[in-house]
Each structure stands twice: as C-alpha cells, then as structure tokens.
Structure 1
Amino acid sequence: MGKRASSLPNMVLTLLMITAVAGGSLGFVFQMTKAPIEAAAVAKQQEAIQLVVPDFDNDPAAEMYELTSSEGFPLKVFPARKGEELVGVAIETMSNRGFSGEIKIMVGLKPDGSIINYQVLEHRETPGLGTKMDDWFKPAVVVEGRKEPGTRLLDGFFGIKAGESGDTKNILGKHPGTTRMVVKQDGGEVDAITAATITSRAFLHAVEVAYTTYTERTDAASSATTQYNEEEGGDNEPVE
C-alpha cells in the first residue's frame, strides 16, 4: 500500500509536467504561426478585391467600412476608386444556409448595383458538387465545342460577354434589382449547380444580402453610409 500511495503524487506530477510542456508547445506554435496565417488572410482578401473590382488606384482596404445586414452579421465594404470616381465596391458577404454551414464570398458591384465578379473565400461544401460554385455562376467558356464554367476574371474581356443570352447560370453583369437572384426551382432566374441546390441557394443568398445591404444602407454615388434618423421617421431596416 505504501508504494502505491507514494507513486500517486509522482504520477500526478508527471501528468502536470506533460500538460505544461504540451500547453507551452501549443502556445509557441500558435505564436509562431499567428502572423503568417494573418498575413495569408490579408493577401487572400486583397487578391479577391482585385479580382472582383478591377482597375482602381486607391487602397480599398484602407477605406473599408462595415454595414450590418438585416440578419445581424457585419459585411465589409471595400470602395474602389479611380481618381475621385467610385468605380465599384467589393463586399465581403456570407450566408449560413450552405449544405455544410457558412459560405463566405467577395462580390464586386458597380455603383449602380450590377454584379462585376465574385470570388469564393471560404466554405465547407461537398467536394466536387458544392465546390463548383467557384466558377458555376460565371460566363461559360467554349472548350473544344462544349461550354464549361468560366475560370478567369471577367471572361468577357476575352470575347465572352457577361449576361450572354442562353447562359442562365451566369450572374456577372446582372442587376439583383431587376434579376431575381434565386434558383429556378424556387421561381428565380438562375440555374442551380447540378446536384447542389442547397449550396446554390446559399450562394445566391449571400449575393442578395450584399446587394440589399449595400443599396439600402449606403449612398452608392459617394459610398458614404446613409444616416437614418428614427425621430424623423427613418427606417434603419432594409426592405425584404
């Protein structure tokens, strides 16, 4: 009994030492990787802005501001200017209606609200199905006589027009205010990804949230947040 009793403190001490070493190692690894991870996230964000809002000469990230959607989550808005002219905005938006949870995208809008381009930032959708949203909603590219989703920034620059007739998957060049950004199964105007309707609904929902939040809460001409005054009858909630 004496030996067993005396060995218990040693076991506890050993476990504490192992825990301390493991915890210290994890903390060290976290500190070592924190900066590179943050830098990679910033680089990815900058790349997405450049992809969805081309031809600007300001620093959209330096002018970034946030708007709150009607669902309560913040959207980051990156104004893109050429000289003094607002040429568009890149909006980091999201939807939590995906098949596997949250979908986050960067969508570029012209000052009038029409869609320039988009870039998927994060998702956990089914590989081979939901992941097709990366290109599905862009202009089709003719490859060896067959149409395939576009994979380059604004394929219209290479002879394919955004909003081309017959390409009912494509949302580039379309205006969410005049085009119902809902899958055809739900009475909308956009073809869903084959076998990934839930993902398609979530993706289009994220686009709609970006458009609605921006146009309802922002002066698109100046990219300055609209001030709402409840005492004067202002409504600070967007119209569904």
Structure 2
Amino acid sequence: MLDIIRKNGIILAIFAAITTGLTAMIHEVTKPAIQAQKALTQQNLLDQVLPPTLYNNALQSSCYIVCDPALGDNKEHRLYIAKKDTQPVAVALETTAPDGYSGNIQIIVGANFNGLIYGVRVIEHHETPGLGDKIELRLSNWINDFFHQKVDKYCNGNFAVKKDGGDFDQFTGATITPRAVVNAVKRSTLYIQTLPGHISHLKKCNNKIEE
C-alpha cells in the first residue's frame, strides 16, 4: 500500500514539474509578442492625444514620472514628452479626476506648453453605464470636444460644463462625471504649462511595459 502511495506521489510530482515547466516555457515564448502588442496599444493611445506629425522622437522612450496634487492625487503619473528635432513641443500626461460619480477616473491629456489641447482619452473609470460612461469615445463623441481648446490661467471661466457657466455639455442626468473630467483636464493642462525649465530634473520611467 505504501509503495502504491509513494509511486502515485512520484507520478504527481513529475506531472506537476512538467506542467510548470511547460507553462514557464510558453510564457517566455509568448512574452515578446505580448510586450509588442502592449507597446502597440500604448502607442495607439498616445497617437490619439498627440498628432504623430507633431514630433519625431520615440515618444514611449521619452517617458518621465511626475507627482503633483494638480494631477488629482499624490501618486506617480507617467508623462511623455514629444520633441521635434530634440526640442520639446508637447506632452501626453496621465492624470486622475478624483471626483467622478463612482470614484477616480484615469485620463490621458495631450497638450502643448501654451495650453493648446490636442486630445483627451479616458483610460479607466467606474461610472454608471448609460449615464456617466459617455466619457468613453466608443459610446459618445463628447471627449473630442477638448480638441484644440485652450486653457489659459487668466481666462478660464468658459472651461467648465454649461451648468457651471462653461462651454462643455453635461450629460442628461449626469453632471458630476463630465464636470470631473473637464476640471481634471483643466488642472492637467495648466500643470503642463509649468514644465518648461523643469524637464531636465524629471525622473525617467523604466521604459518597461507593465505586464
């Protein structure tokens, strides 16, 4: 009886070792393809907020880490600097709207250093389906209203939802969500305007696509 148990235990151990080895091998074989796909997805997102004709550097390699309350929290955020012939011309900045109806809304904003916005996209949110989720491009064209809007620190009364006296539409039955996004975009674009002169002091990303 003990011999049978011992034999079965050895068989199970061998099977587990083979399975683990195969899983590890498959992971290593597919890892480059997965990383390449993630890099492609990330570049596609960056292209939506910064026109590729605007810069000629490798944008994903020009990644920095910034931390400022203006970005919605005290966490680290990634910032990509677009350069034309080594000259910084614009930024794609990941930021947070902390006051969404259902919590934080993660956003990426593309703008130049004069406050001109090239694009905004929502990366992650938990807003109510059918109401607040209209901030997603696949559900509504609302997010494109930021295109070529300009944020000026002296005259920003119009950079708000219409209910607050601004130019941006709110959603029927949902004002909190678009208000949170508009305010986050405004704060982030103002922050981008403070960057010239400080870029050389920014912390570089590790350039590794998160698994």
Where on the TM-score scale, by shorter chain, does this alignment land: which range?
Answer: 0.5 to 0.7
- 2:63 is matched by which residue type in structure 1? M
After TM superposition, the structure 1 = structure 2 runs for residues 10-159 of structure 1, keeping only pairs within 5 Å, are 39-54=36-51, 55-59=53-57, 60-70=59-69, 71-135=73-137, 149=141
Q: Deviations over 1:182-210 (max 9, x none)?
A: 3333x341322222222112212331342
- 2:159 is matched by which residue type in structure 1? M
Q: Deviations over 1:2-33 (max 9, x none)?
A: xxxxxxxxxxxxxxxxxxxxx99x99998898
Cα distance in 1, alignment partners of residues 173 and 29 from structure 2: 41
Which residue in 2 is equivalent to 1:193? 171
Structure 1 residue 85, shift from structure 2 partner = 3.5
Q: Are residues 43 and 123 of structure 1, via their aligned partners in 2, closer, same or farther at CA, if it must alter by over 3 Å? A: farther
Which residue in 2 is equivalent to 1:208? 186
Which residue in 2 is equivalent to 1:171? 146
Q: Is the 8 A contact 2:113 2:193 kept in 1?
A: no
Structure 1 residue 53, shift from structure 2 partner = 0.9
Q: Which structure ranks higher in relative contact order (CA pairs < 8 Å, sequence separation ≥ 6)?
A: 2
Structure 2 stretches lacking a partner, 5+ long: 1-19, 203-211
- 2:90 is matched by which residue type in structure 1? G
- 1:201 is matched by which residue type in structure 2? R
- Three-state SS of the structure 2 residue aligned to 1:72 is coil
Quick one: percent identity of the two aligned structures? 30
Cα distance in 2, alignment partners of residues 29 and 100 from structure 1: 39
Q: Are residues 224 and 188 of structure 1, via their aligned partners in 2, closer, same or farther at CA, if it must alter by over 3 Å? A: farther
| RMSD after superposition | 4.0
Cα distance in 2, alignment partners of residues 210 and 36 from structure 1: 33
Q: Are residues 92 and 35 of structure 1, via their aligned partners in 2, closer, same or farther at CA, if it must alter by over 3 Å? A: farther
- Three-state SS of the structure 2 residue aligned to 1:124 is coil
Q: Give the alignment's TM-score, normalised by structure 1.
A: 0.58
Structure 1 stretches lacking a partner, 5+ long: 1-22, 137-147, 155-169, 228-240
Aligned residues: 193
- Three-state SS of the structure 2 residue aligned to 1:193 is coil
Q: Is the 8 A contact 2:134 2:142 kept in 1?
A: no
Q: Deviations over 1:57-84 (max 9, x none)?
A: 4342111112112131222111112223
